[in-house]
Each structure stands twice: as C-alpha cells, then as structure tokens.
A and B are shown apart, each in its own frame.
Chain A
Amino acid sequence: LAKTTQPISMDSYEGQEVNITCSHNNIATNDYITWYQQFPSQGPRFIIQGYKTKVTNEVASLFIPADRKSSTLSLPRVSLSDTAVYYCLVGALNTGGFKTIFGAGTRLFVKA
C-alpha cells in the first residue's frame, strides 16, 4: 500500500478556498486516490475519489497531476462546519473494497 504524507494541520477563514495536498510517491498504476472527512465523535465520511486529472463533485474538487505522486483536495468557500480531519488514502479498487491504511490526516480549523 502506498504511504501518504499530509500536513498535520491547517487554519483557514470562512469563505476562503482551502487546498490540502497529499504526497504519495509510491502510488501504483492501479491505485486510486480517495479522501475522507471526519468530524469529532463520528466515523469518517467519503468525500471524493479520483485516478487522474480532475474530479469535482458537490462538495470538493480533487486535482491529480500527470505523475500522480501527489493530489490536492480543494474545498471551495469553507465554512465553520468544514472544521474536521481530512484523510488521504491510496489503494486499488476491487470488488468489495480493499484493505486501507488511514494516516494521521490533516486537521483543518476554520475560523470566523
């Protein structure tokens, strides 16, 4: 499993765009990149997943450069409720899922 490296914490203000970068230098050809969000006292929640280039959904965008050795989660116009821990994972898809290793994540704190 590819190891991931993320910043331990980030601060932002309401209304700003937040970009969290994850490094995964040893990503394999068939690995996908997935991001989860976790609020205090809750289990993680899926945000977005991608393989290359750019993926966008109603919550976030995921930018993946051509070499796929890193990825950036972009949260547009954050609000106080986006304060959470964000985890980056890489792994291969197969039917039913895959053993996953969550790192320490990035603790995002959004200020008013």
Chain B
Amino acid sequence: GAGVSQSPSNKVTEKGKDVELRCDPISGHTALYWYRQSLGQGLEFLIYFQGNSAPDKSGLPSDRFSAERTGGSVSTLTIQRTQQEDSAVYLCASSLVGFEQYFGPGTRLTVT
C-alpha cells in the first residue's frame, strides 16, 4: 500500500516568508508526528497528533511554528516569517498501533 507522502520534496524560500509543508499519512493511522532534522543531526520532535486528542505541541521551537491535522488525516506544518535557522529536513511519520512509526521522505527546506 501507499506509504507516508510529503510535499513539496524541496522548498526554497526567502527569509521572512511563510511556508506550508504537507503530510499525507498512511490511511487509517491514528497518530501523526512531525520532526525536523538539521544536517548531520538527530531528529528533533516538533508535534504529535493522536486521534481526536489535543495535539502535543511541546516540541515546537517558537510561536512561528504551527500545525494542524484535518479530518484525522492530512497534516500541514506552517512556519511563519521563516528564518535561516529554520533550514532543515522536515520529516513526517504516522503510526497505527504501538511504537512503529512509518516515515515519509521529508521536505528539505532552505531559507535564503
């Protein structure tokens, strides 16, 4: 079946612009995660959605970052007024039961 998909695969934006990153999880997966990964670094947790519960936003680095998940499926991560330090690969993952997360290919964001 189809895996987790993310779009765009690459995004170059100017400092100060807003960007939206999209994640399509595996159908039926109740949990959805966003992470970011800077070059050569580990994954940094950003936000976690589970079912109809309020999302865990404890990893969002600033109020410029927000995310929503519509209809328990597609999720959008929005970064407002982008800064150069926002440049990273943004990874989305989904899971059904247990701890096994399935990751998408990521969106490489470059802020110039």
| Chain B window 55-97, contacts with chain A (Cβ cutoff 8 Å), 1 for yes, 0 for no | 0101000000000000000000000000000000001010111
Residues of A within 8 A of B102 (CB): 46
Residues of B within 8 A of A91 (CB): 99
Contact A104 B103 (CB under 8 A): no
Cα separation A106 to B105 with both chains bound (whole Å): 21
| Stretch touching chain B among A21-29, A60-68, A74-82, A93-101 | A93-101
- Contact residues of A: prevailing secondary structure: loop
Q: Which residues of B contact A (CB under 8 A)?
A: 4, 29-31, 33, 35, 41-45, 48, 50-51, 56, 58, 91, 93, 95-106
8 A-B residue contacts at CB 8 Å? A42-B105, A43-B103, A46-B102, A93-B99, A97-B31, A99-B56, A100-B45, A102-B42
Closest to A42 in B: B105
Counting chain B CB atoms within 10 Å of each CB, the highest count among A32, A43, A44, A104 belongs to: A43
Cα separation A110 to B54 with both chains bound (whole Å): 43
Cα separation A25 to B39 with both chains bound (whole Å): 29
Closest to B103 in A: A43
Residues of B within 8 A of A105 (CB): 42
Apart from A91-B99, A97-B98, what are 14 other A-B pairs with CB-CB below 8 Å?
A32-B98, A41-B106, A42-B103, A43-B4, A43-B104, A46-B101, A49-B98, A85-B42, A93-B98, A96-B51, A98-B31, A99-B48, A102-B35, A102-B43
Cα separation A104 to B104 with both chains bound (whole Å): 19
Cα separation A22 to B91 with both chains bound (whole Å): 24
Sorted nearest first, the 8 A-B pairs with minimum C-beta distance are A43-B103, A97-B31, A96-B30, A97-B95, A102-B43, A96-B31, A104-B42, A46-B100
